[in-house]
Amino acid sequence: MQTAPIDFAAFNALSDRDAQARISAARERLGSRAVILCHHYQRADVYAHADLTGDSLKLSRLASQSDAEFIVFCGVHFMAEVADILSRPEQISILPDLAAGCSMADMANRAKVERCWRELSTVFDPDATITPVTYINSSADLKAFCGEHGGIVCTSSNAPKILDWSFARREKVLFFPDQHLGRWSGYKMGIPLERMVLWNPDLPLGGLTPEEIREAKIILWHGYCSVHQMFNPGQIKRFREKHPDGKVISHPECSFEVCAQSDAVGSTETIIRVVKESPPGTRWLVGTELNLVERLAEEVKAESKIVQFMADMVCMCSTMQRIDPQHLAWTLENLAAGNVVNPIKVPEHEAKLAKIALERMLDAS
């Protein structure tokens, strides 16, 4: 029987221990009606309740294949949007705290990308010349923009393959919002750095000359991940001086200089797999979010592997951290009482176009 929604104020003062107990009780009442998804960067006290873990695309695809009525996404806003787009109509995607966003995703929005497209049209016809490629870490309306303009979505693991797809259709790529993933992927394909130019959306014509735009193969958006910006070559240098036999692995959202000095570069799933498959006794310096690194270090400790965080200071995804036990308990108790709180619903027209771009990616990769 449905009751009035339970206000979050009643949960805000809960101790973590009490919140954990109420999460367990609510989950028992809900049974298989709800599935809890947790991204690799999620804090440990929430991650412990996950039914499914992984990166954002993997989680959305798995959730859409489940029988669950409610998809509770412990991640950030764009992830819950992807879950809504890919899930069945009867499934409801939920984000326990609507303030859990992504600073990188916020660096590109529909208005700025459309203005960029208009400005590029003063140099050439963008619809005939450029394939727009958006990183999955972006809002649904940008995925819809790509769907509408013959573009596509990419992930950190398939970006080079998606660039191949894109160049097979048009001679240039507009890549947003993460400049670092775009630059590293282009470099791995053999594109010279000088032919990958940076578009600053706050400057006329992106701060570029018409000639620079004509010569470019990839136009990179001036966006980045605030967590991966914290890593630098000096940290790698000090690690190698102290541990000459140690290995370095980084996420491609790191700067080009960090990626170039790493032994391996890959997505969250790749980082986990490479470290777990490495020989016992291996020492690793890892350039990605702290929660993942600490969890991975604990999981491989029994094999005498040492995994350490690249930065000198604590460096977590602050917006991902907003999904805490209190918000998860509030969400689940409301669901158990028949109330849906914080549903994420992408408008139908936008979802249709975004799904086109996502399906192009799935077909291409």
Domain ranges of the chain: 9-101+319-345, 105-226, 228-309
What fold does the segment set 9-101+319-345 form as a domain? Answer: Rossmann fold (3.40.50)
pLDDT digits (tens), the chain, 365 positions? 556 788 898 898 899 999 999 999 999 999 999 999 999 888 899 999 999 998 888 989 998 899 999 999 999 999 999 999 999 999 999 999 999 988 899 999 999 999 999 999 999 999 999 999 999 999 999 999 999 999 999 999 999 999 999 999 999 999 999 999 999 999 999 999 999 999 999 999 999 999 999 999 999 999 999 889 999 999 999 999 999 999 999 999 999 999 999 999 999 999 999 999 999 999 999 999 999 999 999 999 999 999 999 998 765 566 667 899 999 999 999 999 999 999 999 999 999 999 999 999 999 98
Q: How far apart are the first and last CA of the chain?
A: 45
- Cβ contacts of 74 within 8 Å, gap of 6 or more: 36, 37, 38, 39, 42, 46, 47, 49, 50, 96, 323, 328
How many of the other CB atoms lie within 10 Å of CB of 325? 24
Read off the pLDDT of residues 187-205 as tens digits, 9 standing for 90 and up: 999 999 999 999 999 999 9
- Residue 318 is predicted with a pLDDT of 60
H or E element: which one contains 14? none
- Cβ contacts of 355 within 8 Å, gap of 6 or more: 85, 86, 147
- Residue 257 is predicted with a pLDDT of 98
| Among the listed residues 322, 295, 321, the one whose alpha carbon sits nearest the alpha carbon of residue 307 | 295
| Among the listed residues 158, 151, 110, 153, the one whose alpha carbon sits nearest the alpha carbon of residue 135 | 153
Spatial separation of the C-alpha atoms in residues 205 and 201, rounded to whole Å:
8
| Three-point CA angle 147, 76, 248, nearest 5° | 95
Is residue 264 within 8 A of residue 251, CB to CB? The reply is no
DSSP 156-191: TTTHHHHHHHHHTT-SEEEEES-HHHHHHHHHHTT-
- Residue 313 is predicted with a pLDDT of 72
Pairing state between β 92-94 and 283-287: unpaired
Q: Which CATH architecture best describes the domain 228-309?
A: 3-Layer(aba) Sandwich (3.40)
- Residue 40 is predicted with a pLDDT of 87
Read off the pLDDT of residues 112-127 as tens digits, 9 standing for 90 and up: 999 999 999 999 999 9
Note the CATH number of domain 105-226. 3.40.50
CA 85 to each of CA 1, 346, 350: distance values in angstroms, whole numbers, following the listed order: 29, 7, 9
| Among the listed residues 26, 69, 75, the one whose alpha carbon sits nearest the alpha carbon of residue 46 | 75
